[in-house]
Structure 1
Amino acid sequence: MKAIVKPTASLSGSIQALSSKNYTTRYMLIAALAEGTSTIHYPAHSEDSDAMRRCIKDLGAIVEEDDVKMTITGFGRNPKPISELNVGNAGAVLRFLMSTAAFCPELTFVNAYPQSLGKRPHDDLISSLEQMGVQVEHNGGKLPITIRGGNPRGGKITVSGNVSSQFLSSLLFMTPLLDEDSEIEVLHDLKSKVIVGQTLEVLEMAGIRIEASEDLMFYRIPGKQRYQAKEYVVQGDYPGSAAILAAAAVTDSDVKVLRLAENSRQGERAVVDVLRAMGVPLTHDNDIVHVKGNSRLIGGEFDGDHFTDAVLAMVAAAVFAEGTTRFYNVENLRYKECDRITDFVTELRKAGADVEERQSEIIVHGRPQGVEGGVEIDAHIDHRVIMALTVVGLRSKQGLTIRDAHHVAKSYPHYFEHLKALGAHVELIAD
């Protein structure tokens, strides 16, 4: 599918934020690892969360749902001994379930997206699992990956955190179920510490005890724990909403996004502060972010590691800011569905933006007058790239055509529907 994004002067209206993908997938996993039945209210519906649904069912969880909730009867530390699992293009789901798969005799994760997830490295988690007595057969750290487990051992474990925090989260979900106590030491650096905080939050909600150092680089995990079956309520999603807020910021707008908790632990909540720092008129009260955009923004400097999944949307807004905007500490963007630095910068330049890249930075020289557009650009099979390029298209002089726009469904299936409801001129056509 192609999205033809046409210049749009103004947006107005209110939308409900979609439910958080990150919390939904975590709640589904801890419900599957519990013995008993858990209830999740307002679960997200996206390709990623659907991948977790499908995979935990394949592993033996009983999943039932209606329009507003799902119930999951878990399998504890005894998943069904299946031979194959397909996570689609969901990297977090793959990494979380690689540790869970260590309880299976032999399980192969297939390579369904060789041009996207199939290119992403998982060596750091593979190394940690091997320290626990799990045999892993892999393709240079990439899919397909076969886990030969059955009896993983606790003890002292190291994991590198300088590519992704998902490797650490995966181990934190699994190690409480081991017979032995475990100690996890994070080597090098730890990216996206805020997201690790989300993992620790949901583990505590499920009755799991973990002692974490203040800098989140060391953990003590008692063994022989059991996940408790509980009720969970999924909060609104900041990463997806960031693109809606960016679109409102770069146009003349009066837009409200509802269900965005002010006290959320989602790191991407920082986009509210980023947009404020860029001079965007907005308020955040009663879980409603209200943007009264006037198309005027100013540049600044921002540590993107605090809001990883919203960096591209903020870069899109910065394309139209006065002066230069620098997003630093964002190297982990290179290891996502695509290289979200080089690939995204390439497409922005095609649209007429003045952007530079460094190994761990994106530097934007703003063009308040707008960009030319009028070209067809590549989404690189990446939902975040699609959303951010749409923001640029709205403010371009000739619009943009985005190829493979259907991949936005990975996290936000209703993205274009929501934008059009606010008045965006977007046409979707089949290839």
Structure 2
Amino acid sequence: MEKHASPTVRPLVSTPPAGPLSGVIRVPGDKSISHRSLMFAGLARGRTEITGLLEGEDVLRTADAMRALGATITREADGRWVVEGQGLGALREPEDVLDMGNSGTAARLLAGILASHGMVSVMTGDASLRRRPMKRVTDPLSACGATFVAREGGRLPLCIQGVADPKPLDYRLPVASAQVKSAVLLAGLNASGTTRVEEPSATRDHTENMLRHFGATVHVAPLGERGRVVTLEGRPDLVARDILVPGDPSSAAFVIVAALLVPGSSVTINGVGLNPLRTGLFDSLRDMGADLVIENARVEGGEPVGDITATAGALHAVDVPAARAPSMIDEYPVLAVAAAHASGVSRFRGLEELRVKESDRLSATVALLRVNGVEVEVEGDDMIVHGTGGAVPGGGTVETRMDHRLAMSASVLGLVARAPVRVDDTAFIDTSFPGYLSLMTEIGAEFG
């Protein structure tokens, strides 16, 4: 079994580098696809080989959970991961509590799997995850026949009494969320009949793509102004298929923004996932005048992939529509850093989903900017950032609130600040981006 990182606090000081950032690099595998590849391979019949799996703390928790449910999962010496699945419906009851660490994605998706199998299970997580709401997942999943017992507000630890013969679900998401959609679809896998999910706007579709990859029948259709509907035919014969995990665009985002902001920089990131439901940040940066070039576009493992070169240049303000939020929900903190450095006043609309991430990421992003001298306000679910048109004042200490993306965003801000930016803790970065600080140092960043 893989060892998990100890929660040692690792503060950091970020300052402008002596010169431009440059290099050709790769970022770790896509976290969303890595979680799903382990889960779906564990539900499929036969042997799946996974190449490029993200080996961060969050994904290792998913591997441990699927082992506890009966899948055989091993890491080969060459970095490939091999999963021997027993087939849909063949999971075994776990002998101990499933500890999901800091991973909300793993906990919410796994809830869908556990709800639709006739066994009792208990999930918990670290202090951050135990504060995050699960009712938006457990409420729709209850309709399949499962029973949930949780702390106030539906928070972990969560006891799940699954059902061996679940009912298919028909659910409309009140707020666009790929995690809730995926949990409902995963519960529908083991149900007899058609599970139907309506979403008000399109969210990342890795679940749909991977279910098809393993042999499930999934259809997506527009609902006009009401969004779109995803339907899944229950109880498919899921058969093992190999997976190549692309580089995570959410991880690439921090390197890209750093390269755009530090004068004279040019950095190429090879093999980045370019799923159109994940590239809202790239669209927003281009709207700001960013020099982003994509080359060698191709399809690998059912997902579009390409090589991205980011070259520094002046950026201007942007108005990001609410409809774009689902395609870049994890990237708003680092986009806010770019907006702080740009000229003009930027507005990011429809950010309610940011309130239920690793932290209340909306208020945490506002705090990150304000403590470093950037004017920012919130109006309803909109965030408004007043750009400085150059180096931000800096000089503040950022409270990361156990949120890896806030820590990385703060480290990028310090690269273009007049005074050092202090980050209270970077230990949690490895949950999603192992080796982030060393990779940034490799291309020219300087951290103390």
Q: Confirm or deny a common fold (TM above 0.5).
A: yes
The alpha-carbon distance between structure 1 residues 152 and 315, as it changes in their structure 2 partners (threshold 3 A), is farther
Matched, 1:58 2:79: no
Matched, 1:126 2:138: yes
2:162 corresponding residue in structure 1: 149
Structure 1 segment 312-327 matched on structure 2, within 5 A: 312-327=333-348
- 1:399 aligned to which of 420, 424, 439: 420
Matched, 1:81 2:102: no
Partners of 1:210 and 1:276 in 2: CA distance:
33
Q: Which amino acid aligns with 1:6?
A: T
Matched, 1:380 2:401: yes
The alpha-carbon distance between structure 1 residues 194 and 165, as it changes in their structure 2 partners (threshold 3 A), is closer
Question: By how many angstroms is 1:288 displaced?
Answer: 2.0
Q: Deviations over 1:328-375 (max 9, x none)?
A: 122101110001111110121001111112232221110023222223
Q: Which amino acid aligns with 1:222?
A: E
Matched, 1:33 2:33: no
Q: Which amino acid aligns with 2:351?
A: V
The alpha-carbon distance between structure 1 residues 21 and 119, as it changes in their structure 2 partners (threshold 3 A), is same
2:312 corresponding residue in structure 1: 293
Q: Deviations over 1:13-44 (max 9, x none)?
A: 12112211111111111100012111111111
Structure 1 segment 360-375 matched on structure 2, within 5 A: 360-375=381-396
2:16 corresponding residue in structure 1: 7
The alpha-carbon distance between structure 1 residues 363 and 72, as it changes in their structure 2 partners (threshold 3 A), is same
Partners of 1:169 and 1:388 in 2: CA distance:
27
- 2:111 aligned to which of 75, 98, 114: 98
Partners of 1:13 and 1:211 in 2: CA distance:
41
Question: By how many angstroms is 1:161 displaced?
Answer: 4.1
Q: Secondary structure at the match of 1:367?
A: coil
2:256 corresponding residue in structure 1: 245
1:302 corresponding residue in structure 2: 320
Question: By how many angstroms is 1:74 displaced?
Answer: 1.1
Q: Which amino acid aligns with 2:259?
A: A
Q: Secondary structure at the match of 2:361?
A: coil
- Whether the 8 Å CA contact 2:45–2:84 is kept in 1: the answer is yes
Partners of 1:129 and 1:359 in 2: CA distance:
29
Under a length normalisation based on structure 1, what TM-score does the superposition of the two structures give?
Answer: 0.92
2:216 corresponding residue in structure 1: 208
Q: Deviations over 1:83-120 (max 9, x none)?
A: 4211111001001111211214211112x323x21121
Partners of 1:212 and 1:266 in 2: CA distance:
15
Two-structure CA RMSD over aligned residues (Å) = 1.8
- Structure 1 range deviating more: 352-361 or 405-414: 352-361
Q: Which amino acid aligns with 1:25?
A: H
Partners of 1:176 and 1:52 in 2: CA distance:
19
- Whether the 8 Å CA contact 1:132–1:157 is kept in 2: the answer is no
- Whether the 8 Å CA contact 1:251–1:293 is kept in 2: the answer is yes
- Whether the 8 Å CA contact 1:124–1:159 is kept in 2: the answer is no
Unaligned stretches of 5+ residues in structure 1 = none
- Tell me how many residue pairs correspond in the alignment: 417
Q: Which amino acid aligns with 2:318?
A: G
Q: Secondary structure at the match of 2:173?
A: strand
Q: Secondary structure at the match of 1:341?
A: helix
Q: Secondary structure at the match of 2:257?
A: helix
Partners of 1:281 and 1:125 in 2: CA distance:
39
1:335 corresponding residue in structure 2: 356
2:180 corresponding residue in structure 1: 167
Q: Secondary structure at the match of 1:194?
A: coil
Matched, 1:270 2:284: no
Q: Which amino acid aligns with 2:27?
A: A
Matched, 1:226 2:232: no
Q: Secondary structure at the match of 1:213?
A: strand
The alpha-carbon distance between structure 1 residues 129 and 291, as it changes in their structure 2 partners (threshold 3 A), is closer
Partners of 2:176 and 2:219 in 1: CA distance:
23
- Whether the 8 Å CA contact 1:35–1:74 is kept in 2: the answer is yes
Q: Which amino acid aligns with 2:235?
A: K
Partners of 2:162 and 2:83 in 1: CA distance:
24
Partners of 1:206 and 1:155 in 2: CA distance:
20
- Whether the 8 Å CA contact 1:268–1:310 is kept in 2: the answer is no
2:30 corresponding residue in structure 1: 20
The alpha-carbon distance between structure 1 residues 324 and 165, as it changes in their structure 2 partners (threshold 3 A), is same
- Whether the 8 Å CA contact 1:194–1:265 is kept in 2: the answer is no
The alpha-carbon distance between structure 1 residues 361 and 266, as it changes in their structure 2 partners (threshold 3 A), is same
Under a length normalisation based on structure 2, what TM-score does the superposition of the two structures give?
Answer: 0.89
Among the aligned pairs, what percent are the same residue?
A: 25
The alpha-carbon distance between structure 1 residues 212 and 154, as it changes in their structure 2 partners (threshold 3 A), is farther
The alpha-carbon distance between structure 1 residues 282 and 153, as it changes in their structure 2 partners (threshold 3 A), is closer
- 2:271 aligned to which of 259, 279, 293: 259
- Whether the 8 Å CA contact 2:355–2:362 is kept in 1: the answer is yes
Q: Which amino acid aligns with 2:104?
A: G
- 2:54 aligned to which of 22, 29, 44: 44
- Whether the 8 Å CA contact 1:271–1:310 is kept in 2: the answer is yes
Q: Which amino acid aligns with 1:169?
A: S
The alpha-carbon distance between structure 1 residues 212 and 282, as it changes in their structure 2 partners (threshold 3 A), is closer
Unaligned stretches of 5+ residues in structure 2 = 1-9, 297-305
Partners of 1:156 and 1:372 in 2: CA distance:
51
Q: Which amino acid aligns with 1:166?
A: Q
Partners of 2:131 and 2:15 in 1: CA distance:
33
Question: By how many angstroms is 1:393 displaced?
Answer: 0.8
